[in-house]
Chain A
Amino acid sequence: MTAEQPLLRVSNLAKYYGSRLGCADVSFELWPGEVLAIVGESGSGKTTLLNALSATLEPSAGETLYRMRDGQWRNIYDLSEAERRFLVRTDWGFVHQNPADGLRMTVSAGANVGERLMAVGDRHYGNIRATALDWLGRVEIAADRIDDQPRSFSGGMRQRLQIARNLVTGPRLVFMDEPTGGLDVSVQARLLDLLRGLVGELGLAAIVVTHDLAVARLLSHRMMVMKNGHVIESGLTDRVLDDPREPYTQLLVSSILQV
């Protein structure tokens, strides 16, 4: 075992849309097995940051270094297109708020999962189908739905399928944008429990954007609070939630409805 190292190193990352600020001065490290929540209200720059981190949106300044499987540190915006595609298809996952953005709605559930396997070179139909079936089971989708298209799935099932599609290649880092956003609460609870279990079991690192502090509490080890494009407070999740320092964080925490 080599000495433990972070997986991601972000320094002074900024994204401007013309003269308008998306996010700025963001620096942090993410370690293997660590779940980081990014919270803040709509328009605070959370999703911009997530997209800039995941090579979806080119930042205006700063750098994001990623430790590749061979141990090399690479700036994700210096990668060749082929290298970047390899990362996005295998070593990373991206769970979108709207499953339709992350799934192919007109191919079967099994093919949605199998496609990522084929991207890493698996060509054996029987193996692919067996692995897809295994993953459908892990996200609690009945085996007899494997040939159905996600169009015929409920919102919660689609989201679970999207998770299976992302995790099947054994990624080391998963980005999630409001993964429970459009779901009703009972479905949310099931999804959260599933995610929490899988993240722990697989030792994934994850960056989860959410405006829901309960989701952050349940899933994350650490959190960053964003406001107007800046990280205004960060730390251990329970410390930030139980002893918030910044006026805006105190407002967020005190605005949670108690049931």
Chain B
Amino acid sequence: MTALSVQNLSKTFTMHLRDGVVLPVVENVNFHVEPGECVVLGGPSGAGKSSILKMVYGNYGVDAGAITIQHHGEAVDLATADPRTVLTLRRDSIGYVSQFLRTVPRVSALDVVAEPLVIRGVDKTEAQGRARELLARLNLPERLWSLPPATFSGGEQQRVNIARGFITDHPVLLLDEPTASLDATNRAVVVAMIGEKKAQGVALLGIFHDEEVRAQVADRIIDVTAFAPRIAA
């Protein structure tokens, strides 16, 4: 059963503060991701890759089209779902590793990572245990675990973000350049973690600018320029 399917998705931005100028982003986006495969969105900067990921996560609204996600054995259209349903989808079915970590004052790295499990009702001690394993695997120095990540370096924040995204067993996982600011050792760790997710039957959809990483993880590459809007005359 297809884990994620996107049909005829279109998106424009209307900039009301710029005299209502309409920026077309993508048009007629169609693709699907099966359990156990990693599909990579390819194309130059500005082609709309991140926008597609954000629409699939419900972070951006869509103008038209459907985003069908398997959720507890049922196909749910996230594009038209109410906020409550989107939050349930995010809790149980779709995860997202964003490019940048949004930090909360005073919350430790360990709790940031454990939070997605705690929200799902996992015991806090157990969730923190899982968080420790992941942070250790991603070589984040243990002295940082109890600190809020606001002052961490880019690479450290990104590893916190990756751990937070990978801690759950969501059947669909979105990755927005998860290896962008990592060194070779940690890139290799993330590549291995992606391989494990695939083996567990997770459907992954990602953006990877690093060609070496992309070659290692991608099962298919979707050329996003194919979804470029036809510019109206």
- Whether the Cβ atoms of A236 and B58 lie closer than 8 Å is yes
- Whether the Cβ atoms of B87 and A243 lie closer than 8 Å is no
B105 within 8 A of A: yes
- Whether the Cβ atoms of A242 and B104 lie closer than 8 Å is no
B114 within 8 A of A: no
CB-CB < 8 A to B61: which residues of A? 235, 239, 243, 245
Contact among B16, B17, B60, B105 for A192, CB-based, below 8 A:
B105
- CA of A254 to CA of B13 in the docked complex: distance in angstroms? 14
- Who on chain B is nearest to A192 by CB? B105
**Tally of B interface residues using CB under 8 Å:** 19
CB distance from B101 to the nearest CB of A (A): 14
Known: A190-B106, A193-B104, A193-B107. A243 touches B17 (CB 8 A): no
- CA of A242 to CA of B59 in the docked complex: distance in angstroms? 7
- CA of A200 to CA of B17 in the docked complex: distance in angstroms? 36
B14 within 8 A of A: yes
Known: A189-B105, A196-B104, A247-B16. A235 touches B60 (CB 8 A): no
Please, what's the 1-or-0 string for A220-237, where 1 marks a CB less than 8 Å from any CB in chain B? 011000000000000110
- Whether the Cβ atoms of A239 and B107 lie closer than 8 Å is no
- CA of A81 to CA of B83 in the docked complex: distance in angstroms? 35
- CA of A106 to CA of B204 in the docked complex: distance in angstroms? 60
CB-CB < 8 A to A239: which residues of B? 58-61, 83, 86
- Who on chain B is nearest to A217 by CB? B102
B15 within 8 A of A: yes
CB distance from B89 to the nearest CB of A (A): 11
A246 within 8 A of B: yes
B84 within 8 A of A: yes
Please, what's the 1-or-0 string for A27-61, where 1 marks a CB less than 8 Å from any CB in chain B? 00001001000000000000000000000000000
- Who on chain B is nearest to A238 by CB? B59
A75 within 8 A of B: no
A1 within 8 A of B: no
A251 within 8 A of B: yes
Query: What secondary structure prevails in chain A residues at the interface with B?
Result: helix
Known: A193-B106, A239-B60. A247 touches B17 (CB 8 A): yes
Please, what's the 1-or-0 string for A240-254, where 1 marks a CB less than 8 Å from any CB in chain B? 001101110011001
A119 within 8 A of B: no
Known: A242-B54, A242-B59. A235 touches B83 (CB 8 A): yes
CB-CB < 8 A to B86: which residues of A? 236, 239
- Whether the Cβ atoms of A193 and B17 lie closer than 8 Å is no
Contact among B14, B59, B83, B119 for A245, CB-based, below 8 A:
B14
Known: A190-B106, A239-B60. A254 touches B17 (CB 8 A): yes
- CA of A236 to CA of B119 in the docked complex: distance in angstroms? 17
CB-CB < 8 A to A218: which residues of B? 104
CB distance from B14 to the nearest CB of A (A): 7
Q: Which of B54, B60, B61, B83 has the most CB of A within 10 A?
A: B83
- Whether the Cβ atoms of A250 and B17 lie closer than 8 Å is yes
- CA of A251 to CA of B60 in the docked complex: distance in angstroms? 17
- Whether the Cβ atoms of A31 and B105 lie closer than 8 Å is no
CB distance from B63 to the nearest CB of A (A): 11
CB distance from B30 to the nearest CB of A (A): 21
Interface residues of B (CB under 8 A from A): 13-17, 54, 58-61, 83-84, 86-87, 104-107, 119
Interface residues of A (CB under 8 A from B): 31, 34, 189-190, 192-193, 196, 200, 218, 221-222, 235-236, 238-239, 242-243, 245-247, 250-251, 254
Please name 28 pairs of A and B residues whose Cβ atoms are closer than 8 Å in the assembled complex, sorted by A: A31-B84, A34-B84, A189-B105, A190-B105, A192-B105, A193-B104, A193-B105, A193-B106, A221-B87, A222-B83, A222-B84, A235-B83, A236-B58, A236-B83, A236-B86, A236-B87, A238-B59, A239-B59, A242-B60, A243-B54, A243-B59, A245-B14, A245-B61, A247-B17, A250-B15, A250-B16, A250-B17, A254-B17
Q: List 5 additional A-B contacts (Cβ < 8 Å) besides A235-B83, A239-B58, A250-B16.
A: A193-B105, A235-B61, A236-B87, A243-B60, A250-B15
